[in-house]
Amino acid sequence: MLFHVRMDVAVPPDLDPEVRADLLAREKARALELQRAGTWVHLWRVVGHYSNVSVFEVPDGTALHDLLWSLPLFPYMTIEVTALTAHPSALSENP
């Protein structure tokens, strides 16, 4: 199942710099791991914001929920999720 996910990040500006650096390094490692596994299909930065728009391919909403909770930056995110399905006019649906 495909999901469109927007993640807006708000890391506290007064977070200890070493804690922040570790947090960002762990987030990057987790994102790369999920992309290499084919779960995090697309990852796009939103220009001018500390945000991204992503597409995930997971079995269901529960799997997505668990995945999002596994992200180190999750406690600092506002997340909007939209389930996706094939469009009948998409080229992939009309070979």
Query: What is the side-by-side order of every strand in the sheet holding 77-84?
Result: 40-45, 51-57, 2-9, 77-84
Q: Which two tokens stand for residue 9?
A: 């990040």
Element (H, E) at 74: none
Residue-wise pLDDT for 14-66, tens only, equals 999 999 999 999 999 999 999 999 999 999 999 999 999 999 999 999 999 99
| Residue whose structure tokens are 């070979």 | 95
DSSP string, 3-16: EEEEEEE---TTS-
Query: How does residue 95 score in pLDDT terms, banded at 50, 70 and 90?
Result: confident
3-state secondary structure of 93: helix
CATH of region 2-87, choose from 1.20.120.1630, 3.30.750.24, 3.30.70.1060, 3.40.50.300: 3.30.70.1060
Distances in Å between the Cα of 44 and the Cα atoms of 19, 31, 91 are: 25, 12, 22
- pTM of whole model > 0.85? yes
